[in-house]
Structure 1
Amino acid sequence: MPQLYLEKLQLSFFKNYEEGTFEYSPRLNCFVGENGSGKTNLLDAIYWLGLTKSAFQVQDVLSIQHHADFLMVDGIFKKGAKTVQITCSLQRGQRKVILSDKKPYERISDHIGEFPIVLVAPNDTDLVREGSEERRRFFDGVLSQLDSFYLQDLLQYNKTLAQRNSILKIFAERQQFDDLLLDTYDEALVGLANRIYERRQRFLVEFEPLVQRYYAFLGESREAITIKYESEVEDLSFRDKFRQHRQRDLQLQRTLMGIHKDDFLFEMDGVALRKFGSQGQQKSFVLALKLAQFDCIAVEKEMKPLLLLDDIFDKLDDRRIQKLIQLIEDNTFGQVFLTDARPERTEDILKGKRIDVKFFRIGY
């Protein structure tokens, strides 16, 4: 399996970094420093290179340093025998630009999945505790890195959905309805919804056993973990029901049915993990989700993704930390980046381990 790793990172006006240059180890890289020093921002810069956006900011422009007019994130990747330069730049008031070896992509979405990344972050337990939108975003993110056709279908679905909702508002304002126009949007949405539903369903068949395996490894627990996919699209009469909801859609000025309402239910011994799982069980489950994501991408892409671990030692107990370090030591992963506010803790955890590690003291 060819190795993927980030060799060099350069930043300009990215968050708290006016300028910065970093050269990384192909194995383990540790960013240590006080809270607020910029450790997580370095992980986010790497995330930008792989996913063309921030993992933590909803709007791209929020990643530009407050007094600056633009940002630039530039990375040199080793991808097997190839060296590839990826540049992400954004100027206020303009569209972001993604370059591969100084050539722009025709579509930014064509870049997604080329340099896969898995991020484990402190707020990941929101996947368990929060609403369905968080879980859909996670599964869509995994599938988008795995399957470019899925990503294009998802982008087109969201675009068509936004257009349909806009048309519904115009109809309500004018109190004039055009059934033929709605038929056009409905036919497109239903077709896309069916394809997205089928891909999500197929993926879960492969994904769930990996989550169960990692959960058992991390927790040494006998709880039966399951993931259930709920969707209105699975109903064979979905097309008819979608049409029947048209009057309600018109009244409420939004589309009430579709894959944008899907949910993934996480259960433990047949009950909701959100309600009945302990904090430790929830953290183990979420970490198992991310490690299963890593495996899926590695198999599909025949290349291990970069693994970003943000404040991981603060969120796991000692036993689970040792399990994770065991995976790193056994070369389960490729290149790994982790952050910690306590350098001495990281050094102590890694002491005596057969791991090639490079430390970066941030803010010192």
Structure 2
Amino acid sequence: MILKSLSLLNYKNFESQSFEFNDRINCFVGNNGVGKTNVLDAIYHLSFGKSYFNPIASQNIKHHESFFVINGDYEKDGKTEKIAVSLKKGQKKVIKRNNKVYDRFSDHIGFLPLVIISPADRDLIIEGSTTRRKFIDSVISQSDKNYLDHLINYNKILVQRNSLLKYFALNNTFNADTLGIYNKQLDTYGQVIFEKREVFLETFIPIFKERYKAISNGNEPVNLIYNSDLKEDKLESLLKANINKDKALQYTSVGIHKDDLVFEIDNHPIKKFGSQGQQKSFLIALKLAQFDFIKAQSGVNPILLLDDIFDKLDENRVSQIIKLVDDKNFGQLFISDTHADRTENAVKQVHQSYEIFKL
């Protein structure tokens, strides 16, 4: 799968811009603020229908404009695929494949596999469990439509159950039967999601450990530990047991929406005990393992975006990544950097064709 060309209209800082890409390596270089990361984010947008960096869709429209359009021409399985993402202020976002509008955004997820490595990934270590759940969901969803459907349905019912708990509190009332219906539905969807997360991590953790070893040259053991309420009991039982707590809080306090992934180094949380270098290696290993997993599941080389990683990594780690990319198992690569010379020297180590775009 190759992204052949990209055109941007009123997207972030770009009024109108087009690019024709190399099939292997593409580098965007220039000073801070010229829009290098924005180009990578536009490519991410074409795969996921949303920005990696700014979840508020309307804020991706250029200042003083009322809409944005991103167009990408891909070559996949010997066919040309035209993908367009557009948004007009006050309206819903539209994703089109070959001029046909998707009825559901979720139908597009996984069609154009992609992995991004960015300084923003540090949120996976420093932020709360929501960020790490999103990571798990993003990886599984790119190759499992059923998982994504279950997740969407679970979250819908969770919102409804939380609204009901608020209604009970406001009106000083309670209806166990209505609540029981939601409990059963959450249990059905939640159990499937829990089991799929467990199966995913059984495959993913060994790949991650292998990648960490290759990048860090270190002997320190690393691990990912999956925490879930459903390891204790069935969700329906947990919901019944926690009903008084939920009534007091006015939201659902147990379930797969509370799952977490603990990042460990030497059997300690990496957030507290990992050096900056170890944390960086940990995150890159996590993302390269994501690449390996998605490729194995889909049979397609995901597009790989490396955002500003040269500034944040030492030369040894950069050369490790570049060596990995020199492998025929990698597909198309997009890099952003502030220093043209540094980028060119790095990509010259790779015996592949490349293009440098000066912004």
The 3-state SS of whatever aligns with 1:304 is coil
In structure 2, what is the equivalent of residue 108 of structure 1? 105
1:168, 1:249 within 8 Å by CA — same for their partners in 2? Answer: yes
1:164, 1:185 within 8 Å by CA — same for their partners in 2? Answer: yes
In structure 2, what is the equivalent of residue 128 of structure 1? 125
2:187, 2:234 within 8 Å by CA — same for their partners in 1? Answer: no
TM-score normalised according to structure 1 size: 0.96
- Is 1:348 matched up with 2:345? yes
Aligned partner letter, 1:125: R
Percent identity over the alignment is 44
Question: How far apart are 1:237 and its partner, in Å?
Answer: 4.6
2:186, 2:236 within 8 Å by CA — same for their partners in 1? Answer: no
Q: Aligned to 1:223, which of 220, 224, 231?
A: 220
CA distance in 2, matches of 1:11, 1:123: 23
In structure 2, what is the equivalent of residue 283 of structure 1? 280
Question: How far apart are 1:49 and its partner, in Å?
Answer: 0.4
- Is 1:119 matched up with 2:78? no
1:32-43 aligned at under 5 Å gives the runs 32-43=29-40
1:1-364 aligned at under 5 Å gives the runs 4-351=1-348, 353-362=350-359
> Structure 1 stretch 141-150 or stretch 342-351: which is displaced more?
342-351
Question: How far apart are 1:330 and its partner, in Å?
Answer: 2.3
Aligned partner letter, 1:96: K
Question: How far apart are 1:239 and its partner, in Å?
Answer: 2.3
Question: How far apart are 1:331 and its partner, in Å?
Answer: 2.6
- Give a deviation string over 1:297-331, Cα, whole Å, max 9, x none: 11111000100000010121111111111112223
Aligned partner letter, 2:274: G
Question: How far apart are 1:17 and its partner, in Å?
Answer: 0.8
Question: How far apart are 1:272 and its partner, in Å?
Answer: 1.3
1:328, 1:355 within 8 Å by CA — same for their partners in 2? Answer: no
CA distance in 2, matches of 1:267, 1:359: 38
The 3-state SS of whatever aligns with 1:167 is helix
CA distance in 1, matches of 2:308, 2:234: 47
Question: How far apart are 1:352 and its partner, in Å?
Answer: 5.1
CA distance in 2, matches of 1:245, 1:80: 50
Aligned partner letter, 1:302: G
CA distance in 2, matches of 1:350, 1:134: 31
Question: How far apart are 1:145 and its partner, in Å?
Answer: 0.8
CA RMSD in angstroms, aligned pairs only: 1.1
Question: How far apart are 1:358 and its partner, in Å?
Answer: 0.2
Call closer, same or farther: CA 1:190–1:342 in 2, change over 3 Å.
same
TM-score normalised according to structure 2 size: 0.98
CA distance in 1, matches of 2:150, 2:231: 18
Aligned partner letter, 1:358: E
The 3-state SS of whatever aligns with 1:146 is coil
The 3-state SS of whatever aligns with 1:264 is strand
2:24, 2:352 within 8 Å by CA — same for their partners in 1? Answer: yes
